[in-house]
Amino acid sequence: MAQPLMPKATAVWLVENTVLTFDQIATFCGMHHLEVQAIADDEVAIGMQGMDPLANGELTHEEIDRCAADSSQHLVQAERKIKIPVAKQKGARYTPVSKRQDRPDAISWLIKNYPELSDAQISKLIGTTKPTINAIRDKTHWNSANIKQQNPVSLGLCAGADLEKIVAIARARAGTVRATPAEPEAAPQAESTETES
């Protein structure tokens, strides 16, 4: 169940303005019922301004009334009418300094496992430059001897969904379909040899 935007402030408001049980409030806000009880006893969140879940569209009056009438019921968050947009990153991709030494390993893995990816796609996915990709492909990179192929998703350089999306686009452009490294390939069946008598 999705939690409210500000769980503790929502719990403060529900404690002050409703007759809901501590368990109902705790379940809705994703808190422990003793923490909600501490809020009611003014041991926690002293002076905190409560956040109205009705004004935020997280709850309805009908839902609060339904749960107030029956203490065994749990609050169900109202469906949001406004979809919150997900911000897309624009411009160059930033890679933290601690992960920059992992980029050559990831580039090498991508070149080996997905040769259909273009340099531009690898550059955008990993956050590197085309000369670096070419140096790794040609084995002229300054650190070629120490490059070990590693999955960029496990290194934290990209998300799995982003990798799958770019690979699907590259395969569609190339018109190829191959098994991904994660998929086990079918083992060749052993041919039965018959002994001649």
| This prediction's pTM | 0.47
Contact of 179 with 185, CB cutoff 8 Å: yes
Among 34-48, 72-86, 106-120, 154-168, the range scoring the smallest mean pLDDT is 72-86
Tell me, what DSSP letter sits at residue 99?
Answer: G
Structure tokens at 166: 């770019």
Distance CA 23, CA 36 (A): 8
Among 53-62, 83-92, 147-156, 187-196, the range scoring the smallest mean pLDDT is 187-196
Closest by CA position to 18, among listed 64, 54, 63, 53: 64
Radius of gyration of the chain from Cα atoms? Answer: 28
